[in-house]
Amino acid sequence: MAPVLRLQDVRIRDNAGGRDVVHRVSFELTPGAVVGIVGESGSGKTMTCRAVLGILPEHFTVTGGTIELLGRDVAGFTGKEWTAQRGSTVSAVFQDPASYLNPSIKVGAQVAEVVRVKKGLRRREARRRAVELLASVRLRDPELVYQQYPHELSGGMLQRVLIAAAIAADPQVLIADEATTALDVTVQAEILDLLADLRERTGLALVVVSHDLAVVAQLCDEVLVMQHGEIVEQGPTSEILYHPQHSYTRLLIAEHESYGLDRFLEAPHAARA
Amino acid sequence: MPPALEIDNLDVHYGSVHALRGASLTASPGETVGLIGETGSGKSTLARAVLGLVRASAGRIVVAGQEVTGYSARQWRAQRRRGTVQYVFQDPLRSLDPDLTVEDSIVEPLLIQGRPRREAAARARVYAARVRLDEALLSRLPGELSGGQRQRVAIARALVTDPEVIILDEPVSALDSANRVRTLEFLKELRDSGAALLFISHDLGSVAGVADRIAVLYRGEIVEQGPARAVVNTPEHPYTRLLVGSAPTLRSAAADRAQRAELRALLTYEGKPS
């Protein structure tokens, strides 16, 4: 299958700071596949995502390698082309959902707006489609949520609304950058389960970015471990989990083995095997 | 030896909101008790009640054999001066005075107790060493330290008054992996200090490895408590089962997607607001 997203030796430079913040990142994403990127803040994972979305902050530029969306090199994209691609080919959700919504507009209208602009639907159809989208992200009462303002919804519900908006124009790639980090653990699991459902239902390919290897491991086929702008380890999830090569990956695993639930859960599992 | 902390049938109301219902919990000297709950579960309310920041509407709180529930404002002030119960925040950058050096931050609670400066400074150095803070850092300001170092300063400051109870509110949530492991390791060693540790978090995964016992708060009630291993391996309450099944794990999940969906439906059925 042809990849929907392909990064080859991508380098990103902070021109103001005069240094590379991402060195030679490469991966491919085929339809329905899930790639995870793990690293601390400042490791370069978010800059990599932003480059894929064409929203690098000022002073940051891609100085090497290629990024291809549906086989097209994005280096030549004009502003207009980027606007056409974002949402329809590649879309994203981030850590703090409330900051991406207008607090004074009902959330349903904000989702409908995306549908109107991106899909060219008329007002009434856009509303109907927005309610469908709110239902598809498993919001319990989509008609009610449509009428609510952001402050009336919990963090988990807001993130669902943003996922609904992000998939409104049927993108092929969804980037979830620390999308569950600020949420309670049970809500985090709900959102991760929803992403897994969406992938199965629609063939959406995912890039899941997290500081927590366990979050990424649950969902991803392939994992990239980043530190200080470099990929220190990359491979199939099971390889990374069972045969980690780099000391940083080992640290991430040791943390869960010594202090996380893995410590308690592995024993009975092993006994059964 | 009496428990360091004994909470018996505690109720707290905020106006018409019943934030804590019949919560009972004990922690012995040297014991680490993990208190797990999500946003709005009542875990911060419980901490605030132990610190005397909210009034219990019913029930008792006993610290080292002394009932504090009926304390007057003056008695609470005296209790705080003694530093019997200490509190460590999630983000020490906010709890440490940005204009005080590390040493002055650790010394301050002792000076408030009226101890001589020289004695206090000597004691501060001992505690800085206990939390493995380099001597060179003592003259720095909090803004010049890493998150992990700041958290250790906050813990040294809490330890220095020889407290009976230390409440740690999400002590590792803001730290990166390396600092998280280091801080957790060192929280284990804190048992020797003789203080009871109440480790509060929304994340069972970050508490399970250091807690002797775990109590699960859900909608203002402690729905389950027991030895850490038992709570994780054989959770009984549906909420605890969802909590364990939702914690991100590397290789072996306690529940799969379908099981989690079932538990959520069950809890919604029991009236959880979504």
Q: What is the 3-state secondary structure of chain B?
A: CCCCEEEEEEEEEECCEEEEEEEEEEECCCCEEEEECCCCCCHHHHHHHHCCCCCCCEEEEEECCEECCCCCHHHHHHHHHHCCEEEECCCHHHHCCCCCCHHHHHHHHHHHCCCCHHHHHHHHHHHHHHCCCCHHHHHCCHHHCCHHHHHHHHHHHHHCCCCCEEEEECCCCCCCHHHHHHHHHHHHHHHHHCCEEEEEECCHHHHHCCCCEEEEEECCEEEEEEEHHHHHHCCCCHHHHHHHHHCCCCCCCCCCHHHHHHHHHHHHHCCCCC
Cβ distance B250 to A262 less than 8 Å, yes or no, reads yes
Closest residue by Cα to residue B202 from B11, B32, B21, B43: B43
Across all residues in chain A, what is the average pLDDT? 93
Predicted pLDDT at B21: 96
pLDDT grade, residue B91 (50/70/90)? confident
Q: What's the whole-model pTM score?
A: 0.89
Closest residue by Cα to residue B163 from B154, B171, B172: B154
| CB pairs < 8 Å spanning A and B | 121
Predicted pLDDT at A178: 93
Cβ distance B38 to A187 less than 8 Å, yes or no, reads yes
pLDDT grade, residue B272 (50/70/90)? very low
**A97-154 confidence digits (pLDDT tens):** 989 999 999 999 999 999 999 999 999 999 999 999 999 999 999 999 999 999 999 9
Query: How many angstroms separate the CA atoms of A220 and A37, rounded?
Result: 9
Of the residues B204, B251, B257, the best mutation for testing chain A's interface (the one with the most A CB atoms within 10 Å of its CB) is B251
Does residue B96 sit at the A interface (CB-CB below 8 Å)? Answer: no
Measure CB to CB from residue B246 to each of A41, A185, A212 and give the nearest one.
Answer: A185
Stretch among A21-30, A110-119, B116-125, B174-183 having the lowest mean pLDDT: B174-183
Predicted pLDDT at A105: 97
**A73-87 confidence digits (pLDDT tens):** 999 999 999 999 999
Query: How many angstroms separate the CA atoms of A36 and B180, rounded?
Result: 22
- Average the pLDDT over B92-121 and give the result: 91
**A222-239 confidence digits (pLDDT tens):** 999 999 999 999 999 999
**B114-143 confidence digits (pLDDT tens):** 999 999 999 999 999 988 899 899 999 999
Predicted pLDDT at B274: 44
Tokens 């990166």, residue? B176
For chain B, give the percent of residues with pLDDT over 70: 98
pLDDT grade, residue B189 (50/70/90)? confident
Across all residues in chain B, what is the average pLDDT? 91
Cβ distance B181 to A157 less than 8 Å, yes or no, reads no
Predicted pLDDT at B171: 86
| A residues 128-187 lying closer than 8 A (beta carbon) to B | 140, 154-155, 157, 184-187
Q: What ipTM is given for this predicted complex?
A: 0.88
**A163-208 confidence digits (pLDDT tens):** 999 999 999 999 999 999 889 999 999 999 999 999 999 999 999 9
